[in-house]
C-alpha cells in the first residue's frame, strides 16, 4: 500500500540507521547469530525524516556540475550552425511535494513533483557559408518544471552500506529557453529553441541523477563516521560493521550490525546471538536491539580501562555518612571521618559480569573499599564486598537514570588498623554498602554516562518517550524522535568543504 507525505529526500536520510562497515555480508537469517546490534527504522520515522530533507535535494540540484555542450547542425539558407552552451547554473530552485514508498525486498521509491528551476548560462554560436559568416554570444535563461522519480537500492558493498540510485528519472513538463530574456524570439532564436532544448534536457537529467547518487553516498559516509565517533570513547570503540544487507518491508527498514567491542588491540566476538526479528515491534519510530554480549564486553573494556575507580573526600564524603542507618556507626568510622583529610577509595576488584532478564539488567562484581587519611601511613580500613545488583535504566530530560536494587551483598577480606577491634563492623559495612554505597555509585554512573553521551551529541536530539526494556539476553531501546536538524546542518557544511562543492548558487 502506498503512503504519501510532504517533503522530499527520505531515501537519503533513511541511511542514518544503515551506515556501517561490512567486511563480509551474508543473508539476513545467517547474519542473525553474528549480530550484536540491530536498528529498526519504521515508516513513521521515515516520514519525520522526509519532512526535513529539502536541503539535501536542493544541494544535489544546486551542486551538480553541468558540462559545456558543443554541437553543430545544418540549417537551410544558413549553412552549418556551430554552438556551445557554457556556464550552466541553477537559480530560483523550488521543490513541491514528495511521495515515498517502502517497497518490500526492493528499496525506497520516491516521487518528487513540481521541481521548478531556472537555469542560466551563455550560448555562443557561429553560422555561415563560404560567402558569409557570423558569430555571437548570448546570455540565456531556461525556465523548467519537472518531476523527479528515484528508486533507492540499499546494498552491502565491500566496506559499507551504499545507495544505488541509478534507477532515476527526470520528467520535464516545461522547458522554455529564453535568449537574453526574449519571450517573443525571432526566427533565428526559434532555431535554437527547437534543438538546443532537447540537448539541455538530456544533460540536466543525467547530471541531476548522478549528483543525487553522489550525495546519497556522501551522506552514508558522513553518517557512518558520526556513528563510529558516537560509539567511541578513549581506547574503547564499537564495530558497527553490518552482517547483512538491510531488510526492507513496507513498514520498516532494519539493519544488522556486529556490535563488537574493541579495546586496545583486542576485539570481542559474537558467535551465537539470540536475535530474532519478532523481538522488535513496529509501534514506535526507532528501535535499537542490544545484545548482552555487546553490553557485557563493553563493561569489561571499561573495567580494563580503569574507569571503575572513584576517590571521595571532603564535603562529599561527609554528606554521604549523614544517611541514617539502623546500625550505629562504629567508633573506627567516626574517628576516621574526624581525622585530617579523610579519603574513601572504591574500585572494582573483579571483572563485572553482566546479563539481562525481564526483571532488569544484572551486574555481579567484587568491589574493594579503602578508608584512609592524611596522617595514616596505612589504610584505616580495607574490605571487599561481593554484590549483585539489578538495574533498570531510563533516559529523561536529557539525562541517564539508573535505578539499582541490591540482590545480594557479602563483605569479606577485612584489614583494620593495627590494634583496633570492633564488634558489629561487618554488619554496619554491609548496610552501608546497600544504603550508601550502591546509590552513590549509581549517581556517579548516571552522571558519567550522561556526560559521555552529551559529549557525543545525544542531547542535541529530540528523543520522545524513550524506553529501555530488558529481556532475556538483550535490551530493547525504543523511542519516537524529532528530526536531528543539527546533523543535517553539519552534513551540508561538511559537503561544502568537499572539493567541487564550494558554494550554493541562487
DSSP string, 241-267: -BSBPPEE-SSEEEEEE--EEEETTEE
Collapsed DSSP state (helix, strand, coil) of residue 460: helix
Q: Is the pLDDT of residue 21 over 50?
A: no
pLDDT score for 493: 67
Backbone angles phi, psi at 444, to 5 degrees: -65, -45
Q: What percent of the chain has pLDDT over 70?
A: 80
User: 3-19+44-229 belongs to which homologous superfamily?
Assistant: Bactericidal permeability-increasing protein; domain 1 (3.15.10.10)
pLDDT score for 296: 94
pLDDT score for 16: 46
Instruction: Compute the distance between CA of residue 329 and CA of residue 424 in angstroms, rounded to an integer.
Output: 9
Q: How many CA atoms lie within 13 A of 140 on its CB side?
A: 29
DSSP string, 189-217: HHHHHHHHHHHHHHHHHHHHHHHHHHHHH
pLDDT score for 24: 56
Q: Is the pLDDT of residue 142 over 90?
A: no
CB atoms within 10 A of CB 17: 26
Q: What CATH number has the domain spanning 235-480?
A: 3.15.20.10
The arithmetic mean of pLDDT across residues 199-219, rounded, is 79
pLDDT score for 192: 65
Of the listed ranges 274-278, 301-305, 424-428, the one predicted with least confidence = 424-428
Backbone angles phi, psi at 136, to 5 degrees: -160, 160
The arithmetic mean of pLDDT across residues 42-57, rounded, is 72
Q: Is the pLDDT of residue 395 over 50?
A: yes
Collapsed DSSP state (helix, strand, coil) of residue 323: coil
Domain boundaries, the chain: 3-19+44-229, 235-480
Q: What percent of the chain has pLDDT over 90?
A: 35
Highest average pLDDT, of 216-220, 224-228, 442-446, comes from: 442-446
Between 360 and 67, whose confidence is greater?
360
pLDDT score for 489: 67
- pLDDT per position as a tens digit, 235-270: 999 988 888 888 889 999 888 888 889 998 888 888
Q: Comparing 3-19+44-229 with 235-480, is the CATH topology the same? A: no
**Grid coordinates of 214:** 553522489
For the chain, what is the mean pLDDT? 81
Backbone angles phi, psi at 397, to 5 degrees: 50, 40
- pTM (predicted TM-score): 0.82
Q: Within 231-329, where are the H helices? A: 292-304, 314-320
Between 400 and 270, whose confidence is greater?
400
The sign one gets for the Cα dihedral 90, 94, 99, 102 is positive
Q: Categorize the per-residue pLDDT at 144 as very low, low, confident or very high, splitting at 50, 70 and 90.
A: confident
Amino acid at each position: 500500500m502506498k503512503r504519501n507525505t510532504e517533503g522530499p529526500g527520505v531515501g537519503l536520510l533513511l541511511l542514518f540507521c544503515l551506515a556501517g562497515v561490512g567486511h563480509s555480508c551474508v543473508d539476513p537469517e545467517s547474519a542473525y547469530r553474528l549480530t550484536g546490534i540491530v536498528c529498526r527504522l519504521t515508516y513513521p520515522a521515515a516520514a519525520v525524516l522526509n519532512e526535513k530533507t529539502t536541503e539535501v535535494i536542493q544541494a544535489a540540484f544546486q551542486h551538480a556540475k553541468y558540462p559545456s555542450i558543443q554541437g553543430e547542425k545544418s540549417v537551410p539558407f544558413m549553412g552549418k550552425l556551430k554552438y556551445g552552451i557554457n556556464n550552466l547554473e541553477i537559480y530560483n530552485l523550488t521543490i513541491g511535494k514528495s511521495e515515498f514508498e517502502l517497497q518490500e525486498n526492493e528499496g525506497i521509491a520516491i516521487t518528487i513533483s513540481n521541481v521548478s528551476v531556472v537555469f542560466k548560462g551563455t550560448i555562443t554560436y557561429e553560422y555561415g557559408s563560404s560567402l558569409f559568416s557570423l558569430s555571437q554570444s548570448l546570455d540565456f535563461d531556461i525556465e523548467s518544471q519537472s518531476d523527479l522519480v528515484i528508486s533507492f537500492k540499499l546494498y552491502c558493498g565491500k566496506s559499507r552500506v551504499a545507495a544505488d540510485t541509478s534507477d532515476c528519472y527526470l520528467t520535464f513538463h516545461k522547458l522554455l529557453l529564453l535568449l537574453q530574456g526574449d519571450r517573443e524570439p525571432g526566427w533565428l532564436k526559434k532555431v535554437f529553441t527547437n534543438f538546443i532544448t532537447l540537448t539541455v534536457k538530456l544533460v540536466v537529467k543525467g547530471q541531476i541523477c548522478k549528483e543525487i547518487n553522489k550525495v546519497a553516498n556522501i551522506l552514508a559516509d558522513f553518517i557512518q563516521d558520526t556513528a563510529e565517533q558516537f560509539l567511541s570513547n578513549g581506547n574503547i570503540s564499537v564495530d558497527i560493521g553490518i552482517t547483512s544487507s538491510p531488510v526492507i518491508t513496507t513498514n520498516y527498514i532494519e539493519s544488522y550490525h556486529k556490535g563488537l567491542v574493541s579495546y586496545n588491540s583486542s576485539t570481542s566476538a559474537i558467535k551465537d546471538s539470540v536475535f530474532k526479528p519478532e523481538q522488535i515491534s513496529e509501534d514506535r519510530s526507532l528501535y535499537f536491539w542490544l545484545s548482552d554480549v555487546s553490553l557485557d564486553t563493553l563493561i569489561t573494556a571499561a573495567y580494563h580501562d580503569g574507569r571503575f575507580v572513584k576517590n571521595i573526600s571532603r564535603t562529599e564524603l561527609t554528606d554521604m555518612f549523614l544517611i541514617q542507618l539502623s546500625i550505629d556507626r562504629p567508633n573506627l568510622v567516626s574517628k576516621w571521618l574526624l581525622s585530617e583529610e579523610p579519603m574513601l577509595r572504591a574500585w572494582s576488584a573483579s571483572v563485572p559480569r553482566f546479563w539481562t532478564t525481564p526483571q532488569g539488567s544484572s551486574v555481579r562484581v567484587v568491589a574493594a573499599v579503602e578508608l584512609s587519611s592524611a596522617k595514616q601511613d596505612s589504610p584505616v580500613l580495607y574490605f571487599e564486598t561481593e554484590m549483585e545488583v539489578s538495574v533498570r535504566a531510563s533516559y529523561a530530560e536529557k539525562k541517564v537514570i539508573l535505578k539499582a536494587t541490591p540482590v545480594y551483598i557479602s563483605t569479606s577480606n577485612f584489614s583494620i588498623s593495627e590494634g583496633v577491634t570492633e564488634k558489629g563492623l561487618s554488619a554496619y559495612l554491609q548496610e552501608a554498602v546497600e544504603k550508601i554505597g550502591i546509590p552513590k555509585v549509581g549517581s556517579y554512573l548516571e552522571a558519567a554516562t550522561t556526560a559521555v553521551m552529551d559529549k557525543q551529541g545525544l542531547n542535541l536530539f529530540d528523543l520522545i518517550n524513550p524506553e529501555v526494556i530488558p529481556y532475556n539476553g538483550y535490551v530493547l531501546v525504543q523511542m519516537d524522535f524529532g528530526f536531528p536538524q543539527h546533523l543535517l546542518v553539519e552534513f551540508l557544511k561538511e559537503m561544502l568543504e568537499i572539493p567541487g562543492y564550494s558554494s550554493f548558487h541562487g
